[in-house]
Copies of this chain bind each other. A is one copy, B any other.
Amino acid sequence: MFNRKMLRLGEERSAIRELYEYGLARKKIVGEENVFDFSIGNPSAPPPACLTETLRRLIDEVPPELLHGYTSAPGAYDVREAVANYIRTQFGVPMSATLVYMTCGASASLMCTFQAILSEGEGEEVLVPAPFFPEYSVFVAQAGGVLVPVPTDARFHLDLAAIARAITPKTRVVLLNSPNNPTGAVYAKEELAALGQLLRKASAERRSPIFLVADEPYRELTYGEAPVYPMSVYENTVVCYSFSKSMTLAGERIGYVAVSPRCEGADELFSAVCGAGRALGFVCAPALFQKTVKHCLGAPAPVEVYRANRDLLYASLSDMGYTCSVPEGAFYLFMQALEPDARAFCERAKAFELLLVPSDSFGVGGYVRISYCVARSVIERSLPAFRALMESYRGARKN
């Protein structure tokens, strides 16, 4: 009676959201402090002071009917100018306000971009290094495309040979997420430059561009040197950004799409993004937060809070005998499950009130994602549970 795909998506929910809801329910039963919810990437560190100060100031100074009214569909022009200026000065690439489209967050950025580039019923392909954020499958399918996972190397960095092999005449997009959810990998300048070369060559051979879509909500959350800006290594690039993680406002739905002026057909692509925003029902990005982020561009992200969490969690879990990759950015730790079936491992972890996301929905088996954007005390209190979980496997092996 209803749309079957939507019904299925609504009934399954994402594995992450499912676990998050389980956690909310479980906390009511055993107490908030006894559940170690590492399920969702809901930032816990206070946002930059600028955020709350700007919110207060705007509410005090701007008449509400102006503050909360519609902006132009692609965003208030002064906000788009500020974002373009930030991209130019921060990353040293050309950018124009006319190619910045303010969105309702990263998912909206991605949906508008996919819907703009992909045409339905053509089987157009979006390559993505695996593991990858599970909603990518949903968004690409909704936009009429096909998501094609490509393996990564042992450190979850790009396997260029695998990407080269995966390119077909149907490939329209390579989708990158660095810093990466779920692995914490941050792609190095050299590997991105090599990817740029590869895509440039492939595009020339096919005489039609392959677009690099960079999903960058974690850009400011890195623990080493600042990651390279993808537009500086490849011309046909679209950056999908969200302020959710850097400014701790994941619930406010504010981000942008920036189309590189060097992109083939940049103006047309931008128009198609606008058309997609219109067709999908976005109207405009939330007005108050458009105006707020304008004044907070470049405000320092709370990266030190997450670095301290990472250091504690990585060292503790490694000490206990777990095998983890060192997160270079974002706030996820990717850890090997203690049995081949990650789902079974996560089910067992639940008995210790540990909420971990199995890697299966990220496109690989045998791992779990641990979101460590939680209060430090949650990590500290969770350590005995991780130890007990490990013991439960050792005990099982002895038997």
Contact = CB atoms under 8 A, between A and B. Distances in A.
B51 A65 contact: no
A64 interface: yes
Interface string A21-51: 1001000000000000000101111110001
Contact of A280 (B63, B73, B280): B280
A1 B268 contact: yes
A271 B10 CA distance: 5
A275 B6 contact: yes
17 contacts: A3-B117, A6-B272, A6-B279, A7-B275, A9-B275, A9-B276, A10-B116, A11-B271, A40-B70, A55-B59, A56-B59, A64-B249, A68-B252, A108-B282, A138-B279, A251-B286, A252-B288
A265 interface: yes
A251 to B, nearest CB: 3
A341 interface: no
- The 7 tightest CB contacts between A and B, nearest first, are A251-B287, A10-B275, A9-B275, A111-B281, A10-B271, A6-B275, A10-B274
Interface string A237-275: 000000000001111110000000000110011111111
Copies of this protein in the assembly total 2
A251 B272 CA distance: 22
Contacts of A107: 281-283
A135 interface: yes
A104 B253 contact: yes
A17 interface: yes
Interface in A63-78: 63-65, 68-73
A14 interface: yes
A273 B116 contact: no
Contact of A252 (B112, B135, B250, B286): B286
Main secondary structure of the interface of A (DSSP, over half): helix
Interface in A200-257: 208-209, 248-253
Contact of A46 (B64, B287, B288): B64
Interface in A287-303: 287-290
A5 B139 CA distance: 18
A68 B47 contact: yes
Contact of A284 (B21, B253, B272, B289): B253
Contacts of A116: 2-3, 6-7, 10
Contact of A276 (B6, B112, B271): B6
A8 interface: yes
A142 interface: yes
Given A1-B268, A3-B115, A68-B251, A13 B73 contact: yes
Contacts of A4: 119
A281 B139 contact: yes
